[in-house]
Amino acid sequence: MKTHAKLDFDRVPGGEPVTVRVMVTMTPEERPEADRAPLNLAAVIDRSGSMGGGKLENVKGAVQTLFESLAPADIFSLAAFDDTVEPLLPPAAVGELRDLAPTMIAALHPGGSTNLCGGYAQGGEFAAGKLSPRRLSRVLLLTDGQANEGVVDPGRIAAVVDRFREQGITTSTIGVGSDYNEELLGLMAERGGGATYFLRNAGEAHAVFAEELGDLVTVDASDVRVRFVPAVAGLRVDQLNTFAVTADGAWGVGAVFGSRPRHLVLEIAADALKAGADGRAVIGSLEVTWMQAVGAGFVASSSSLPVEVMLVSRAALATVRPDREVTLQAAHLLAARALAGALELADHRRFDDAARMLEASAASLAALGLGDATLDARLGEMQQRAAALREQREAYYDAGRRKEFYTERDYHSKGLHGKVSSMRSRHGLDGGPPAAGRQGHRAGGGGAPATATRTVTFPAYAINGHVLVEVEQDRVLVDTGSPHSIGNAPTFAFMGDDHRLQSSFQGASIDQISALVGTRVTVLLGGDILSRYDMRLDLDAGTATFSVDEMPCAGHTAHLEYFTGVPIVQVGVGGHGRRLFFDTGAKLSYLHSSLAQGLPRVGRDRDFFPGFGEFEVELVNQQVDICGRQVPLAFGSLPMLLETALLLAGVEGILGAGVFEGARVTYAPRRGLLAIE
């Protein structure tokens, strides 16, 4: 196995708090199957009463096929359980069990209730009896029900899994149907370093056993663990994945198999770092340990990966962009977090909130513009599922759907994306989840294009902190933070041209925007239209002027950058330059929570973001330098999901509509300039 580490930002500002992400990549080296280590596989089968009918017969056939697929030198054992535990086949070489195993498998019959922990522990003891550094040991547990006999507490069951894992025995779990406890089986697999599977029916057992065996025979490294050793005090480190944390603080990645790499993404927050003579600051090191497959056995291996950054000035960061590969992996993991959050909300029948969470996450990740087909497909699915949750509610979110969501979240959070495809194939969902029905939008028109008008002044004012412009019969919300313009009509007549409008942005229609603003809004004017004109807003005078020609930028100016069409301006905050989105659609301004700590609090307020909905924030006072002008502003801190999206874009806050109070602001997007008088 090869190991490698890289940062999303390898250059950070000196003398300031920083947050970086580091991705550890573990890449397997292909090995001929003939050289694989022997397996020590303990199968544990639920034979409780609910497994009656065709369920147990299907599972018995799958176990028989699994047994026949093993090599003669592999070790196999079999235990079954209902309210009692049956140690059917003590561990022995497959070659020695050829005659006995089929008879014992065929003798399985449904019984009483479900002593899951007892059956699992028997499988673990069987595997422990044949431990060897030359073998890969795993318990494979299959059940269709809830643990209701013996030890039933998930924490105590997980402790049994931990004990076997410390001996070198891993665990995979298989749930059948809609009645098993996916949280328990997922916990057991996570703590056991294996995988969890969801079978809609027992007929899928053949395919799952084959998939599990295919993983085992291609293992290049087992028991992979990653520890971060800090080089400076006060660091805050967390994973974006959901790997189990071992007693010594390592993240237990488990096995690296097949041909695809595994990734662990860590987020490291540090106070001001100190550079060495070469301008570099050492943050720490990543210590990776694993058991490397060598020949027909395993040997202990390790690597040490330094984590260091170059400290540079704020000015030198103007052209720095995050590493695409690290950002892409982080995006997949943040999508998995959003799915986990939506699960929790849907469990409490908060379907609208769950839909908003999925839509907001999908929109913020799409705004990164990573151009990855796999991620784009996932984000489309999140939007479809959000629509289904909102429209169909309990009819959509049944027990089977929850298990599907949970299992997908588990796979994606551990980088096992291929297992999602396999599960969907088994379930007949190769094309992804079905889209919910879409509602039609009212039609309207702006008339035929007219000759472009060079400069026009419209009435403008603020309502509830939002900048509105009256354009004939339309009330327009000016929103530089939205890449797209939306409305109920397909076109909007503005400055002598007809501009196309979308019906929604990030899942929010113009009617929903109106409700959130608190007044009638007919058009949200986004970057796709605003980018064609110069704009001057003077709320004291009550005017908004737009021009096809270049308007003079009086006073001090700031140069703008753009991220997916949204302008970014450098703002002085606490004596340091910070990159903030210039978002006129945001009622409030925002700073990353680490920058807002310790500032005087001035109350609370409410704001909204399309697709995310309303939220309440605590406000702090901070004087900032914008275009050479000292401006006192109230700042809030965004909800975690939105704040994370800002970091992915390399910005640390939002400059909202409050900047227009008492000032005349000129925005010249074609020249990339912002001026404030």
Q: What is the pLDDT of residues 479-501, one digit of tens each?
A: 998 888 999 888 999 988 889 99
Separation between Cα atoms, residue 519 and residue 652, nearest integer Å? 30
> Where exactly are the structural domains of the chain?
9-21+221-314, 37-217, 325-427, 439-677
The pLDDT value given to residue 455: 84
Mean pLDDT of 150-156: 90
Residue 426, pLDDT score: 83
Q: Tens of pLDDT along 99-146?
A: 999 999 998 888 888 899 999 999 999 999 999 988 999 999 999 888
Residue 33: per-residue pLDDT: 57
Residue 449 has pLDDT above 80, yes or no: no
Q: How far apart are CA 169 and CA 176, in angstroms?
A: 23
Statement: residue 444 has pLDDT above 60: no
| Backbone phi, psi, residue 143, to 5° | -150, 160
Q: How many CB atoms lie within 10 A of CB 343?
A: 16
Q: Using pLDDT thresholds of 50, 70 and 90, give the confidence band for residue 661.
A: confident
Report d(CA 422, CA 174) in Å as an integer. Answer: 14
> 351-366 vs 324-347: helix axis angle to the nearest 10?
170
- Give the pTM: 0.67
Average pLDDT over residues 640-657: 78
Q: Which CATH architecture has domain 37-217?
A: 3-Layer(aba) Sandwich (3.40)
What is the three-class DSSP state of 533? Answer: coil
- CA 224, CA 259: separation in Å to the nearest integer? 16
pLDDT of residue 509: 87
pLDDT-based confidence at residue 234 (cuts at 50, 70, 90): confident
pLDDT of residue 433: 39
pLDDT at 435: 34
Give whole-number Cα distances, 449 to 417, 474, 502, in Å: 49, 17, 18
Which of 330-339, 430-439, 519-528, 589-598 bottoms out in mean pLDDT, i.e. has the lowest? 430-439
Provide the phi-psi class of 69: left if phi over 0, else alpha when psi is between -120 and 50, else beta: alpha
What is the model's pLDDT at position 32?
Answer: 63
Nearest to 621 by CA among 592, 646, 599, 647: 599
In what order do the strands lie in the sheet containing 236-239? 2-7, 18-27, 262-270, 236-239
Give the span between the Cα atoms of 120 and 140, in whole angstroms: 9
Cβ atoms 652, 637 nearer than 8 A: no
Looking at residue 241, its amino acid is N
In a 3-state reduction of DSSP, which class is residue 597?
coil
pLDDT in tens, 536-564: 998 888 888 999 988 888 777 888 888 77
Residue 611, pLDDT score: 62
Positive or negative, the Cα torsion across 387, 391, 394, 400?
negative
Kindly report the CATH number that applies to the domain delimited by 439-677: 2.40.70.10
pLDDT in tens, 295-313: 778 899 999 999 999 998 8
* Token couple for 366: 């799409």
Average pLDDT over residues 649-664: 82
Provide the pLDDT for residue 436: 35
CA distances from 497 to 444, 527, 546, 649 (A): 15, 16, 13, 32
Q: How confident is the model at residue 429 (pLDDT cuts 50, 70, 90)?
A: low
Nearest C-alpha neighbor of 473 from the set 459, 490, 485:
459
- Judge whether 60 and 23 are in contact, CB under 8 Å: no
Q: Higher model confidence: residue 300 or residue 575?
A: 300
Considering the four listed CATH numbers 2.60.120.580, 3.10.20.600, 1.20.58.220, 2.60.40.3670, the one that applies to the domain covering 9-21+221-314 is 2.60.40.3670
- Of the candidates 591, 593, 639, the one whose C-alpha atom is nearest the C-alpha of residue 613 is 639
CA 338 – CA 411 distance, rounded (Å): 14
- Confidence band, pLDDT 50/70/90 cuts, at residue 348: very high
pLDDT reading at 58 higher than 70: yes
Res. 409: pLDDT tops 50: yes
**In this model, does residue 414 exceed pLDDT 60?**
yes
Dist CA 216 CA 472 (whole Å): 69
Q: Do domains 37-217 and 439-677 have the same CATH topology?
A: no
The average confidence (pLDDT) of the chain is: 87
Stated length of the chain: 677
pLDDT at 49: 87
Let me know the angle formed at the C-alpha of 212 by 206 and 216, rounded to the nearest 5 degrees: 140
Nearest 5°: the CA angle 53, 54, 60 is 115
Contact call for residues 64 and 143 (beta carbons, < 8 A)? no
Distances (CA, A) of 362 to 14, 131, 358, 615, 642: 33, 46, 6, 18, 11
Name the pLDDT band for 189 (thresholds 50, 70, 90): very high
Residue range 585-596: mean pLDDT, rounded: 85
- Of the given ranges (269-278, 354-363, 577-586), which has the lowest mean pLDDT? 269-278
Q: How confident is the model at residue 612 (pLDDT cuts 50, 70, 90)?
A: low
